[in-house]
Amino acid sequence: MSMPPPRLDGARVFWWAWSDEVSFGPLPGAQGEDYLIYGFAVCKYDSGEIYRFTCNRHWEVVQDRDHTDEEEAKADIPSQYEASRVIWQRYSHP
């Protein structure tokens, strides 16, 4: 399992999900390393904004969407991905 760094795009990671061997699916219109999605993360900026990030194999953010709370962000997996395989893990910050 590949845990994300503590921050993605400057936002603190609170929840994450990873697919080791088979991606969750392709990102329409993307190419190269950004084409297949392996990770999702629910993050919060210092300003309080909450985002669900869609990430490539290297935990690089390739798509994002803002949300009103963490539960909404976790439930909002785009239909092109295999949402049934998303298992959320709470991020443990030191």
| Tens digit of each residue's pLDDT, the chain (94 residues) | 689 999 999 999 999 999 988 999 999 999 999 999 999 999 999 999 999 999 999 999 999 999 999 999 999 999 999 999 999 999 987 6
Q: Tell me what pLDDT residue 55 has.
A: 97
- Asked whether residue 72 is assigned to any structural domain, the reply reads yes
Q: Tell me, what's the pLDDT at 73?
A: 97
Whether residue 2 lies inside any domain: the answer is no
Residue 21 forms part of a structural domain: yes
How far apart CA 56 and CA 49 sit, in angstroms, is 22
In a domain? residue 20:
yes
Say what the pLDDT of residue 93 is: 75
Within-domain flag for 66? yes
State the residue range of the domain holding 70: 7-90
Q: How many structural domains does the chain have?
A: 1
**Alpha carbon of 27 to those of 40, 84, 91: distances in Å?**
12, 17, 24
Q: Flag whether 1 is in a domain.
A: no
